[in-house]
Amino acid sequence: MKTYTTADANPAALRDKLTVIYGYGSQGRAHARNLRDSGFNVLVAARPDGASFKQAQEDGLAVDTPENAIPKADLIALLTPDMVQAELYEQIVAPLAKPGAALLFAHGFNVHFGAITPRQDLDVILVAPKGPGALVRSQYEEGRGVPSLFAIHQDATGKARELSLAYADGIGGTRGGVIETTFPEETETDLFGEQAVLCGGATELVVMGFETLVEAGYQPEIAYYEVLHELKLIVDLLNEGGLARMHQFISETAQYGDLTRGPRVVDEHARTQMRQVLKEIRDGTFAREWIAEHKAGRANYQALKQKDLDHPIEEVGRRLRASMSWLKDSASAKKAAA
């Protein structure tokens, strides 16, 4: 596996061209500002009556309507939420993009699952930082970069790879290292990680642990500290140095409990369910379900989300976090940095 760095990128391949950022959310805002600060020619496409238009102007970026911006673009970074991308592509990007332009995504969902079928004359590429937009920006400002992935779905001009690496370099990705993948691999592994481990798996484990302790008669506040609050300690250790670092900094009692009881909680049944979740991602079941849910108005999604937000662990957490001054300091620092 090759890791691409700044030495592999040719920023000049894109620096003198016009890059249009369509979608000024977490990733879009970070990408636009990093590219601008790297000397790239950046234009943000946004509706004049929207918050993104005003925010981009306040950030010192050139802004225009999508209808005016897209026809001028040499590279269009379509960074809007997944569920509106297909409509925006069909209504604005496809009819207005000039021949031979490049179309860039940060997630391969719509292309991989066929919601978007790109024009044959377009380069279709992916650059996906492995971190949220705020981190992409803060690491860039500190002279570092968030590791990223890149992929090529369609190389109409023969320049797709060069453009991908130039874009990755412009947002700081080559400082952290860039790995080549494919649209299917990025999409399927990203969805699996979210559903089985990072979001779905982790939150369900936390909530079930909280419920188990409270059901057994322990105070909800104590349960919160043990199964949610202290999770950050373990995640930070894992992030810093994997399993080895975690074992280095937890007690031997904790290590023994981990090694003997962990596999009883997350057992072969969990592995079977993970395989089923992955199967539903790979065969398109999840994508079809989520697209249908969005088109139907998201009633089930909203109900499930509200159930999460109404859980007792949320009320307990709000009360306890109110006394954690460092969380307020961190939030203020992030707001100031933004």
CB atoms within 10 A of CB 313: 20
251 is in an annotated binding site: yes
Please classify residue 170 by burial: count the beta carbons closer than 10 Å to its beta carbon, then call 0-12 exposed, 13-18 middle and 19+ buried. Answer: buried
Adjacency order of strands within the sheet including 3-4 = 3-4, 178-180, 148-154, 123-129, 102-105, 75-78, 18-22, 41-45, 62-64
226 is in an annotated binding site: yes
Question: pLDDT digit of tens for each residue in the chain (338 aa)?
Answer: 899 999 999 999 999 999 999 999 999 999 999 999 999 999 999 999 999 999 999 999 999 999 999 999 999 999 999 999 999 999 999 999 999 999 999 999 999 999 999 999 999 999 999 999 999 999 999 999 999 999 999 999 999 999 999 999 999 999 999 999 999 999 999 999 999 999 999 999 999 999 999 999 999 999 999 999 999 999 999 999 999 999 999 999 999 999 999 999 999 999 999 999 999 999 999 999 999 999 999 999 999 999 999 999 999 999 999 999 888 766 555 555 55
CATH superfamily of 3-181: NAD(P)-binding Rossmann-like Domain (3.40.50.720)
Q: How far is residue 89 CA from its own chain's centroid?
A: 20
pTM reported for the whole predicted model: 0.93
Tokens encoding 13: 């391949």
| Angle, CA of 37, 173 and 239, to the nearest 5° | 125
Please name which of 27, 34, 61 lies closest in space to residue 45, comparing C-alpha atoms.
61
27 is in an annotated binding site: yes
Domain boundaries, the chain: 3-181, 192-337
Q: Indicate which residue of 107, 112, 229, 311 is catalytic.
A: 107
247 in active site: no
Instruction: Tell me the CA distances in angstroms from 78 to 51, 64, 153, 240, one per residue in order.
Output: 18, 15, 15, 32
133 is in an annotated binding site: yes
CA-CA-CA-CA torsion sign (200, 206, 212, 215): negative
Q: Are strands 178-180 and 3-4 parallel, antiparallel or unpaired?
A: antiparallel
28 is in an annotated binding site: no
325 is in an annotated binding site: no
